[in-house]
Amino acid sequence: MNWGQWLSRLAGTLAGPVLPPLLRRRAAQGKELAPRLRERKGFGAARPQGLLIWLHAASVGESLSLVPLMEALVARQPALHLLVTTGTVTSAALLKRRLPAAVAARVIHRFAPLDVPRWIDRFLDGWRPDAVAIAESEIWPNRTYALAARGIPAALVNARISPRSAAAWGRWAPGLARDLLGHFALVMAQSEDDAARLRALGASGAICRGNLKAAAAPLPVEVAELARMRAILGRRPVLLAASTHPGEDAVVIAAHRAMAPRLPGLLTVIAPRHPQRGPEIAALAAPLPTALRSEGGLPEAGVEVYVADTLGEMGLFFRLAPAGLGVTLIGGSLVPKGGHNPLEPARLGSPVLLGPDTSHFREVADDLLAAGGALRVGDAVTLAETATDVLTNPERASGMARAAATIADNAAHLPDELAEAILGLLPSGPGLAPEA
């Protein structure tokens, strides 16, 4: 046992007695499900017969990005079982809604065990996965060492690491980073920059296959609700701010005030990343006529700002802002949050606007900008000017939508490639590992 493994095991063991009260507190806050808290300690194994792959994703974005990968895995191995663990209640709920029936029948969901050695051991001894695929940057030491000790091959898929995190690992724990990353049989990064940073930290075989979030299917929608909302909106122009963070809503509202005189009937829809911020956004919009979806409000005539403070409805709102009638600003890009997936609105025909920070989707954003499928904005003034230009120029809006759709289509092959690589880790599974 090296020093990194020893320290990780000690830290995890010492944390064990402290974590249960924190979990109970989170359950009281609605951040955990009280009846399922034992899963966080590794209980609840119910391993089926046959091959089992464990897929892990921390939260909503990572979980949903794995859906096309799950579809590709099951399509190639119909008898395969998938154990899917997530770290949040919201991700579990959305995942259940998004999984196609054929895939859901092969999926068992559990909340991920925390990185306490006894809890991880209990989990792995109960489930005995044949291979593991972990999304993005969820590299926990005790879990990684426990997998290695059992000879369970692990892949890091859609891997990413920010320049800041890479610098911190390199400065404070280069040996530990090299040791942990060395235990992954496959490291498939979401960008060339991520792959380079991971190689520098010790994942010598890290390669870029593309961003799984760019390969997701179009977001779903309830057809009846879409028809109802379209009837309510008619031909009103729509500025949609999707998945906003604090600091962005005021910018969007200021842009609305500047645009409204030139665009009669303009409706600005703000969909916060965290729906509980709905009342706060409504207060920012005052005295503009505002309605909150969580309270049953509708974007009827006279409403200027519609706060879409619900979960799982972005497929609806992207479809309500198509080229010629609407435009979508990607939230998390006007503030330093890295931005969210710009291909979600692109797949549904909505022209895309990006703020200055698109670091989480840098290559996708660069491709969109280069192809004319997106435009960059920086503040309320440029947002108002650019959005007005797109909304008053249908030909330009349609051209942006076509260019963005092409970029989105280019990512469609990725789930199949990753599925083949992961299946190649199975004891007797088909598939080829990606070339180094």
Catalytically active residues are 62
**Contact present, 157 and 212 (Cβ < 8 Å):** yes
Look up residue 170 and give its DSSP letter: H
Identify each DSSP E strand in 93-196 by its residue range: 107-111, 131-135, 154-159, 186-189
Rounded Cα distance, 144 and 142, in Å: 5
- Using left for φ > 0, alpha for ψ between -120 and 50, and beta otherwise, residue 49 falls in beta
Instruction: Quickly tell me which residue has 């939508």 as its tokens.
Output: 401
Coil, helix or strand for 130?
Answer: coil
Q: Which tokens sit at 404?
A: 């963005």
**Contact present, 215 and 412 (Cβ < 8 Å):** yes
Coil, helix or strand for 148?
Answer: helix
Render 74-90 in DSSP notation, one character per residue. Answer: HHH-TT-EEEEEESSHH
Strands 81-86 and 107-111: parallel
Rounded Cα distance, 362 and 369, in Å: 10
Rounded Cα distance, 80 and 84, in Å: 13
Look up residue 41 and give its DSSP letter: G
Instruction: Quickly tell me which residue has 């998938």 as its tokens.
Output: 82
How far does Cα 50 stand from its chain's mean position?
30
Nearest CA-CA partner of 387 in 215, 269, 232:
269
**Contact present, 78 and 422 (Cβ < 8 Å):** no
How far does Cα 276 stand from its chain's mean position?
19
